[in-house]
Structure 1
Amino acid sequence: MKKNVYIIFLIILIIGIPFFYYLSIDTLVSLKYETEFGECISNITGTDLCLQYDIFLGLTYFLALLTLIFIIFYKKIVKKEKIISPINLNSAFDDLKLSFEKGLTIENHKAGIRYLGLEKVKEWKSKFGYTFNIYSNDHFIENKPHFHFDNKGKGVSCKMSFEGKIFESNGKYEIDRKVLKELRYFLSLEKTQETIIYEWNTKNPKLKYKKKAYTQQRIKKIAKLVLNQS
């Protein structure tokens, strides 16, 4: 439940407690003045005031209990919205590819092993020339969003799905097979998926892509297919 919805429900519950309690007290007054001693039926309205009192008092207790549950289990009821901290796709892929060039394998990276370079801290500059681009007011291809993957120096220009399927290749040359495997592994990473979907939805609000389409299970499946490639 979203926090604003939770707050609205909690306010309704808090208001409801004194409201139904007042109605139960009001019913007691009616029970005293509108019925014969020991009777429950109102001489004015014909209503069963005993039943009415039980209902209003029961609702009072029920709302009080529900309010208590809402307050105690706040953290479980309210789901915190995940804040996306987009990564720079270009530099992230560049760094990953550099790790592979230094001898790290996809299997090792998947196992949590990282390459630690002793380079000077400076402004990032592309080492391999590969760039990701997601354009505004774009369109779906095969009912899916896409990004542009280019390398002008190598004559590569492609439109690809977020899983790494090549929709169009308009460059002079195709993507190197080794780079494609590394790219597909990069796309299987959760942070990459979060960023690329976030950027697409930001730039193409009329063609928003559901983030839930990329579950952990699906991401692992993509990674497994990448690792099984020759």
Structure 2
Amino acid sequence: MRTLLKKFTYIIFLTIFIIGIPISYFISINTLVSLKYETEIGECISNVSGIDLCLQYDIFIGLTYFFALLLLLFVIFPKKIIKKEKTIKLIDLNCSFDELKFTFEKGLTVEDHKDGIRYLGLEKIKEWKSKFGYIFNIYSNDHFIDNEPHFHFDNKEKSVSCKMSFDGNIFESNEKNEIDRKVLKELKYFLSMERTQETIISKWNNKNPKLKYKRKTAGNRVGG
């Protein structure tokens, strides 16, 4: 059984079942009393209301069993019924890109990395410090460019400052130098990774709650 409901909805349904069982059972018992006093022997139609009391009894006793069965399932299998919220493991964009670029500087190519080849080296464990100077920034109260969110990709040492889409397309370049083609290729590969997209979208949505963005799909080109 796959997860079906959010926790709040689960609680609402659980409450309906708990309340529904005694109510439907009480109505079915009342119907039996009416059958005894409002009908002729062997008959189902009430002499008072004209209602088919046999049918009414079958409906409400059936609802009683139905609610009881659903309540039992909800109590036994809450973890399978309640929809789990996806937890996003955010990464440090600056550190992660820096480390990825470091492997490329050691001779690996983007194609090698795609094929699962990794650089293994023995280095002293120390606090991370940028090796290449590339910095990701997402600012609060920002705006869409061409109906898309963006991040700032800067390198002060190389006089690079760009506004880029989450796919790595350059919207604006404000400083002297453009991004090196090799770096741009590595950046686009980095941005294609699932955890990178989850992190960058989460950071944008947290800092720009009025411009929530959902990742592009075939039927969803921009955020809303």
Fold similarity call, TM over 0.5: yes
Distance 1:154 1:78 in 2: 51
Paired residues, what number? 215
Question: How far apart are 1:192 and its partner, in Å?
Answer: 0.2
* Structure 1 pair 130–214 and aligned structure 2 pair: CA distance change class (3 A): farther
Which residue number corresponds to residue 197 of structure 1? 201
For 1:24-173, list aligned pairs within 5 A: 24-71=28-75, 74-173=78-177
SS of corresponding position for 1:32: helix
Q: Which amino acid in the other structure matches residue 71 of structure 2? A: T
Which residue number corresponds to residue 186 of structure 2? 182
Structure 2 residue 16 is the aligned partner of structure 1 residue 12: yes
Do the aligned partners of 1:193 and 1:214 also contact (CA within 8 Å) in 2? Answer: no
Q: Which amino acid in the other structure matches residue 176 of structure 1? A: D
After superposition, give the CA deviation of every residue in 1:23-50 in whole Å (9 maximum; x if it has no partner).
Answer: 1111111111222221212222222111
TM-align CA RMSD: 1.9
Question: How far apart are 1:76 and its partner, in Å?
Answer: 4.1
Instruction: Extract unaligned runs of 5+ from structure 2.
Output: none
Distance 1:111 1:75 in 2: 37
Q: Which amino acid in the other structure matches residue 56 of structure 2? A: Q
**Percentage identity across paired residues of the two chains:** 75
SS of corresponding position for 1:104: coil
Question: How far apart are 1:11 and its partner, in Å?
Answer: 2.2
Q: Which amino acid in the other structure matches residue 92 of structure 1? A: S
Which residue number corresponds to residue 224 of structure 1? none
Question: How far apart are 1:166 and its partner, in Å?
Answer: 0.7
Question: How far apart are 1:73 and its partner, in Å?
Answer: 5.1
* Structure 1 pair 179–94 and aligned structure 2 pair: CA distance change class (3 A): same
After superposition, give the CA deviation of every residue in 1:58-93 in whole Å (9 maximum; x if it has no partner).
Answer: 212222333344455544432211112211100000
SS of corresponding position for 1:168: strand
Question: How far apart are 1:19 and its partner, in Å?
Answer: 1.8
* Structure 1 pair 214–123 and aligned structure 2 pair: CA distance change class (3 A): farther
Instruction: Extract unaligned runs of 5+ from structure 1.
Output: 219-230
Give the TM-score, by structure 1 length: 0.87
Question: How far apart are 1:4 and its partner, in Å?
Answer: 2.1
Distance 2:21 2:118 in 1: 57
SS of corresponding position for 1:157: strand
